[in-house]
């Protein structure tokens, strides 16, 4: 077990109807002016935006609004939000939506704290954030885990780059989580969300050593719980308890809990997806499902004990004659699970057919951004990344 620090300062308010408490939660923070940030309109259609605004009115919190955040959130909207928040004198950014809206809010919050520098500098690794305005959310999709993570991911359309930036300063002040709000999600988004949740734990699971037994059991329990409830939601999308299980898993899977004591995080599948997202604007969770089986088959021999443990403890595989056979059976079982919730398991199924030149460009961009190499299951360099894209075709 390696030393670790666990920092999860976000206040979680969870359950039916809790969005009505948003105004009071802001008031408790001493906040009186807020920018409400939202996406493409689902929160308008569901009436959630009006309910949240009414809660702020009741608490005497002044607010202005900016919608239009798209999945894989873009820089121009962040610049627009920064400008509006400054003019309005916003003291906090309230994201009403999913990972894309929260991440756009985090980027606005960084920009507000340091208006003399370009916020994109943070995402391309040029500098660290000087500060971050407070951010909070009313969550509408269980997926990215941004409500408790220290990460945000944005896309620069001009360069086709999708980049993440991690910094504890952006941890949310509070996250309002009502599982009922996720019932209106399209089935594809529910499934992509479940995939992303699983992936945040899997990215922490395939390491070379130092793993804590307790962390492993939490990770395995989370993975099994998400798979079970993803299948329930496939057949019964309005099932409250399943929505609740998955929503809480979303937060726990990316607040570091499922990787404590390990020797780092892999995050190569995420890096592969981020390049796909930057170039082809794919749905994040679906992009992960499309590359994971190929990545796993490429790396499993270098991380065999963990792939065997995963096969037995998570996928319920009875040990086979050799460890390699057991590991491969575990990978095939997860691939089959993705199929069963209608996730793509190849790039073609994802609707993307990159040319060889595009594969080389994505691999080069990933490797450059990662400083030449990345991964704990197997250290991957540019040629390895390109090989996985080719396998995933
Ligand atoms: O924009 P609206 O109209 O709201 O529609 C959204 C969007 O089309 C829709 N949706 C959300 N809640 C809904 C709903 N539709 C009906 N009813 C509801 N209750 O779902 C679509 C996807 O929303 P989005 O916010 O993009 O989903 P998600 O939470 O999966 O976020 C994806 C983004 O987060 C990044 C991804 O790369 C991607 O850009 N990630 C952020 C992370 C982080 N900050 O820690 C970690 C992740 O690994 C990930 O990279
Ligand atoms: Zn993710």
pLDDT at 211: 81
- Give the Cα separation of 64 and 107 in Å (integer): 18
Total structural domains within the chain: 2
Ligand 1 atom closest to 72 (CA): 39
- Asked if residue 301 and residue 200 are part of one domain, the reply reads yes
- Give the Cα separation of 32 and 57 in Å (integer): 10
Assess whether the C-beta atom of 254 lies below 6 angstroms from ligand 1: yes
Q: Which residue lies with its CA nearest to atom 49 of ligand 1?
A: 144
Q: How far is CA 242 from the centre of its chain?
A: 19
Domain boundary among 181, 204, 232: 181
Whether 5 is covered by a domain: the verdict is no
- Enumerate residues 6+ apart whose C-beta is below 8 A from 118: none
Domain boundary among 181, 208, 228: 181
Question: DSSP code of 152?
Answer: E
- Asked if residue 108 and residue 62 are part of one domain, the reply reads yes
- Asked if residue 176 and residue 229 are part of one domain, the reply reads no
Ligand 1 atom closest to 182 (CA): 19
- Asked if residue 261 and residue 120 are part of one domain, the reply reads no
- Asked if residue 122 and residue 167 are part of one domain, the reply reads yes
10-residue stretch averages of pLDDT, the chain, 393 residues long: 95 98 98 98 97 98 98 97 98 98 98 96 96 98 98 94 96 98 98 98 94 95 98 98 98 97 94 96 97 98 98 98 98 98 98 98 96 97 98 98
Q: Which residue lies with its CA nearest to atom 31 of ligand 1?
A: 99
- Asked if residue 236 and residue 107 are part of one domain, the reply reads no
Ligand positioned closest to the Cα atom of 195:
2
pLDDT at 371: 95
Whether 20 is covered by a domain: the verdict is yes
pLDDT at 336: 98
pLDDT tens sequence across 299-321:
999 999 999 999 999 999 999 99
Ligand 1 atom closest to 277 (CA): 37
pLDDT at 264: 87
Give residue 106's domain range.
11-181
Pocket test for ligand 1, best of 43, 95, 98 (most atoms within 8 A of CB): 98
- Asked if residue 107 and residue 212 are part of one domain, the reply reads no
Q: Do 135 and 110 form a contact (C-beta atoms < 8 A)?
A: no
- Asked if residue 216 and residue 345 are part of one domain, the reply reads yes
Q: Do 76 and 18 form a contact (C-beta atoms < 8 A)?
A: no
- Asked if residue 195 and residue 172 are part of one domain, the reply reads no
| Residue 84 CB-density burial (10 A; 0-12 exposed, 13-18 middle, 19+ buried) | middle
């Amino acid at each position: 077990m390696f030393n670790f620090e666990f920092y999860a300062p976000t206040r979680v308010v969870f359950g039916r109807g809790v969005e009505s408490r948003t105004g009071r939660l802001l008031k408790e923070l001493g906040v009186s002016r807020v920018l409400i940030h939202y996406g493409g309109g689902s929160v308008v259609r569901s009436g959630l935006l009006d309910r949240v605004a009414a809660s702020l009115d009741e608490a005497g919190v002044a607010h202005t609004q900016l919608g239009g955040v798209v999945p894989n959130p873009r820089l121009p909207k962040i610049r627009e939000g920064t400008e509006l928040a400054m003019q309005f004198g916003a003291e906090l950014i309230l994201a009403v939506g999913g990972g894309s809206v929260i991440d756009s809010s985090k980027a606005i919050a960084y920009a507000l704290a340091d208006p003399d520098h370009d916020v994109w500098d943070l995402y391309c690794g040029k500098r660290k954030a000087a500060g971050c305005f407070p951010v909070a959310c009313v969550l509408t999709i269980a997926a990215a885990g941004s409500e408790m993570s220290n990460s945000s991911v944005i896309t620069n359309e001009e360069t086709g780059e999708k980049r993440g930036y991690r910094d504890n300063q952006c941890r949310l002040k509070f996250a309002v989580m009502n599982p009922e709000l996720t019932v209106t999600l399209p089935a594809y988004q529910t499934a992509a969300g479940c995939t992303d949740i699983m992936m945040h734990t899997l990215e922490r699971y395939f390491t070379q050593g130092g793993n804590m037994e307790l962390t492993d059991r939490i990770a395995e329990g989370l993975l099994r719980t998400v798979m079970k409830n993803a299948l329930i939601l496939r057949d019964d999308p309005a099932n409250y308890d399943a929505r609740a299980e998955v929503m809480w898993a979303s937060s726990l899977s990316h607040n570091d809990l499922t990787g404590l004591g390990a020797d780092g995080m892999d995050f190569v599948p995420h890096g592969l997806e981020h390049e796909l997202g930057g170039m082809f604007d794919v749905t994040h969770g679906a992009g992960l499902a499309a590359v994971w089986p190929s990545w796993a088959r490429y790396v499993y021999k270098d991380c065999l004990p963990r792939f065997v443990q995963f096969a037995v403890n998570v996928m319920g595989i009875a040990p086979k004659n050799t460890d390699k056979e057991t590991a491969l059976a575990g990978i095939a079982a997860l691939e089959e699970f993705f199929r069963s919730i209608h996730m793509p398991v190849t790039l073609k199924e994802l609707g993307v057919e990159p040319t060889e030149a595009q594969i080389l460009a994505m691999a080069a961009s990933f490797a450059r951004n990662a400083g030449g190499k990345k991964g704990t299951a197997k250290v991957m360099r540019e040629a390895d990344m390109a090989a996985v894209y080719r396998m995933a075709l």
